[in-house]
Amino acid sequence: MQVMNRDSGPFDDQRPGTSGLRKRVSVFEDTPGYLEHFVQSVLEVAEVGEGPILVGGDGRYYNDKAIKAILRVAAGNGVKRIVIGRNGLLSTPAASCVIRKRGMKGGFILSASHNPGGPGGDFGIKFNTANGGPAPERITEAIYERSAKRRGYKEADIPLPSLDILGPTEVEGVEIEVIDPLEDYVGLMESLFDFDLISSLFASGFTMVFDAMNAVTGPYAEAIFRDRLGAGNGCVVRSAPLQDFGGIHPDPNLTYASDLVELMFSEQAPDFGAASDGDGDRNMILGRGVFVSPSDSLAILAANAYLVKGYRKGLAGVARSMPTSRAVDLVAQELGIPCFETPTGWKFFCNLLDHGRITLCGEESFGTGSDHVREKDGIWAVLFWLNILAATGRGVADIVSAHWKRFGRVFYTRHDYEGLDPDAAAEVMAGLRKRLPSLAGATAGTMEITAADEFEYHDPIDGSVSIGQGIRLMFGEDARIVFRLSGTGTVGATMRIYIEKMVPDPALHSHDPQEVLAPLIEAAIGLSRLHELTGREGPSVVT
């Protein structure tokens, strides 16, 4: 096997604190050695030795080219065993499952998550470590430092075997094994949930629709919901993974999954509706005439976990990202278990999961998970809900209303301002940051700001500190506003405003969240000068 040293320019746009690259496809295609340089830096920092390592992704455009590049660079760096999902496909949670079950040294996951695909869309690559989770900050910072200093990469000129034939193949001293992307994951789901009970629910006439959004969860959903659980033909729509996701934005929210939302609020609605995103780690849950916010979903799963086979022994604790509503905090308080507040980013949960401090965790951005893998998991969340519905014999709306009656309702919304001028978005945050000392005690309309700070996280496991994680304005114990710049976009900047208010009175639980939160929404716009500084008149997406 011939190993060659290739030259590439300095790589200076991968910032610390991220676990991979997420860029326009054109950046990968038009910048020689761009992906290879990143893979080289990862392999040097992660010290995977001879492997084995995993490679797979959501099947979006450029997936096949990226797999070939990773294989060549990995072989050039002495990796002797590489495992690849059939046809290059693996959902992100399934990849975490495979890494953990097979004791691998880590893996490259190829996806830009919920971002659009195709030649004019986005592509991404990230490295997950041996625990199955996204690389922690100490490793991502080391990758950035290595990539910024070095030039070039090693690669071996070896051919890629057929990816549609299962089994191992030896190519010039490198064993490349193609695996069924479903097998390990489906087995794990069956160990956690009562498939026979859920099957009996569907046999009773219960109906569901799962929107795979032309993304990677389609085959998983058909294998589990249709074939194993008997949900029936047609229970999975848009099930074939497409390189461009059929031209849609594969993000399961009220805006981009509007067809499913419209169905669930129509007279033809099935009993249950759900959707997942591009790489299968996000989920949206609906019942007839009801949307379950991700924050409420996490709280409801925690409150009802005792009904589910894999969680009957109880929860060690729960965790949520800081912008996620505090609904799960109320459940943890009643259950007498710890509740951790972390920055946005699944890697912050992994430390807590690895040390047994938590069992369930979630983010408001449609991500929920548990200690079964080290990623958020869309199919898992849907199965958790189905198991609860089957065990209780109640519908989604009944489960939600009973939860609010027991714990109170936390009204919650997120307003996204996408594609902002980065300088204008930075000016909004800088202005808020500068005014923090004077905001505590100030009034916004008739409301008093009782506390104002910029969230920083002190990891209880390794003592690391993460600063600049979002600006929080507190209005007593029951309401707050959070401002945060998101790192998931590839064009411009995305500003997210999170607004919540706790309302114990059941008589008010049926009110529209936008109406209940209107004074706080108005205060957020006025205090941040967002519209004035960005020229926007309103948010791109409201959740």
- What amino acid positions are annotated as catalytic residues? 113
Using CA atoms, how far residue 13 sits from 24, 104, 109, 144, in Å, is 13, 29, 20, 9
Tell me how far CA of residue 100 lies from CA of 97, 131, 217, 244, 398, in angstroms.
5, 6, 20, 30, 37
Burial class (CB in 10 A: 0-12, 13-18, 19+), 445: exposed
Burial status of residue 293 (CB atoms within 10 A of its CB: 0-12, 13-18, 19 or more): buried
Strand order in the sheet with 53-57: 20-24, 122-128, 107-110, 53-57, 81-89, 174-179, 167-171
Tokens (6 digits) for 498: 């999170």
CA distances from 323 to 189, 316, 445, 519 (A): 29, 22, 23, 19
CA separation for the pair 323, 435 (Å, rounded):
20
What letter represents residue 516's amino acid? V
User: What is the helix (H) or strand (E) element at residue 418, kind and residue range?
Assistant: strand 409-420
> How many angstroms separate the most distant Cα atoms in the chain?
73
β-pair type (208-211, 272-276): parallel
Q: Which of 211, 348, 226 lies closest to 282 in space, CA to CA?
A: 211
Core vs surface per residue 254-290: b (16+ CB within 10 A) or e: eebbeebbebbeeeebbbbbbbbbbbbbbbbbbbbeb
3-state helix, strand, coil in the chain (%, to 5): 35, 25, 40
Instruction: Determine the Cα–Cα distance for residues 504 and 135; give it in Å rounded to an integer.
Output: 40
